[in-house]
Amino acid sequence: MGSFDRNLLVPSIALLAACASQVTVTADQSRRYGDYEAPRHEVLLADGAFELRRYAPTLVAATFVEGDDFDKASSTGFRRIAKYIFGGNQGARSVAMTVPVTAEAARPASGGAAIAMTVPVAVAQENKGFRIAFVMPSSYTRETLPVPNDPLVTIEEVPTRTRAVVRFSWLTTPARLAEQTAALRAWARGRGLDLVGEPVVARYSDPFTLPWNRLNELWLEVSTPAYLVR
């Protein structure tokens, strides 16, 4: 974290350190984690650490980071998008932080579909890396969000999606991600769910949170209609 912008350090710590409580739900299916907004979704099926969720459409600020080091890419992507929401945009406006920060193995936007992320360190190939994204507050539209100054940060629309999810703590190491991905795929198969795409890592806690207190999730998109879920 030695190259972290000093202007971002204090607000980043303050805003992420507050994320120490559980997700809460209101009647309109909005979500919060601590003091911060989380993506709106409806829980279709709950089974211990596993859930099936239908997510509302969202806007995200995303960036692609080339390389094979998951942690380094996550840090680089976080700083890049944090600069955008802390005023690195046309109008120098601040945008409220939300959770989680997501990461998935991917090619650049012009390079085609996402690639497998079961073992992140295994994807070190030319023009491959990681897509890091922050969900934007639901109060914004694409027209009202400020335009990023950094051309490497893009605003994207994510449509309604149904996702299989597993929650877990500790660090998001390659071995831990492989273990949780296998568990989530097995759970989904047992419920007759058809999975599409590759896993997305969603991290809710700041780097200073003790490993056993961290909240992480893995998301896998589901194509099975909700009425067929067992």
The CATH number that applies at residue 144 is 3.20.80.10
Closest CA to 23 of 204, 211, 219: 204
Q: Is residue 44 part of a domain?
A: yes
Going by pLDDT thresholds of 50, 70 and 90, the confidence category of residue 71 is confident
- Total domain count for the chain? 2
Question: Residue 230's pLDDT band (boundaries 50, 70, 90)?
Answer: low
Is residue 122 in some structural domain? yes
Cis before 207 (ω within 30): no
Helix ranges restricted to H, 3-154: 6-17, 70-85
- pLDDT level of residue 166 (50, 70, 90 thresholds): very high
- 146, containing H or E segment: none
Averaged pLDDT for residues 88-98? 95
- Which pLDDT value is given to residue 1? 37
Q: Which residues of 143-155 are buried (b: 16+ CB within 10 A; e: fewer)?
A: eebbebeeeebeb
Give the domain-ending residue among 137, 158, 179: 158
**Based on the domain organization, do 71 and 119 belong to the same domain?**
yes
Please state, as a whole number, how many other Cβ atoms lie within 10 Å of the Cβ of residue 113.
Answer: 8
In a domain, 80, yes or no: yes
In a domain, 1, yes or no: no
Q: Which residue has the higher pLDDT, 133 or 9?
A: 133
Local confidence band at 32 (pLDDT 50, 70, 90 cut-offs): confident
Query: Do both 51 and 80 map to the same domain?
Result: no
Phi/psi for 40 (5° steps) reads -70, 135
Residue 147 shares a structural domain with residue 62: yes
Asked if residue 117 and residue 174 are part of one domain, the reply reads no
Question: Do 52 and 165 reside in the same domain of the chain?
Answer: yes
One domain for residues 49 and 63: no
Report phi then psi at 188, rounded to 5: -65, -40
Torsion of CA 38, 43, 48, 50, to 10 degrees: -80
What average pLDDT score do residues 134-138 get?
94
Looking at per-residue pLDDT, the higher value among 151 and 15 belongs to 151
- 92 class by beta-carbon count within 10 Å (0-12 exposed, 13-18 middle, 19+ buried): exposed
- The whole-number average pLDDT for the span 130-143 is 94
Same domain, 113 and 200: no
User: 154 and 62, same structural domain?
Assistant: yes
Q: What is the residue range of 82's domain? A: 58-158
Residues 64 and 154 in one domain: yes
Residue-wise pLDDT tens digits, 10-21? 334 333 433 333
pTM, two decimals, is 0.77
State the average pLDDT over residues 84-98.
95
Residue 148 falls inside a structural domain: yes
User: Residue 176: which pLDDT band, with cuts at 50, 70 and 90?
Assistant: very high
- Backbone φ and ψ for 124, nearest 5 degrees, come out as -75, 90
Measured distance between the N- and C-terminal CA atoms of the chain, rounded to whole angstroms? 45
State how far Cα 15 lies from the chain centre. 16
What are the angstrom distances between the C-alpha of 125 and each of 20, 43, 106, 177?
A: 37, 37, 11, 20
Q: Which of 158, 175, 206 is a domain's end point? A: 158
Q: Within this chain, do residues 136 and 110 fall inside the same structural domain, yes or no?
A: yes
Q: Are residues 164 and 79 in the same domain?
A: no
Give 127 or 22, the one with higher predicted confidence: 127
What percentage of the chain exceeds 70 in pLDDT?
75
Q: How confident is the model at residue 207 (pLDDT cuts 50, 70, 90)?
A: confident
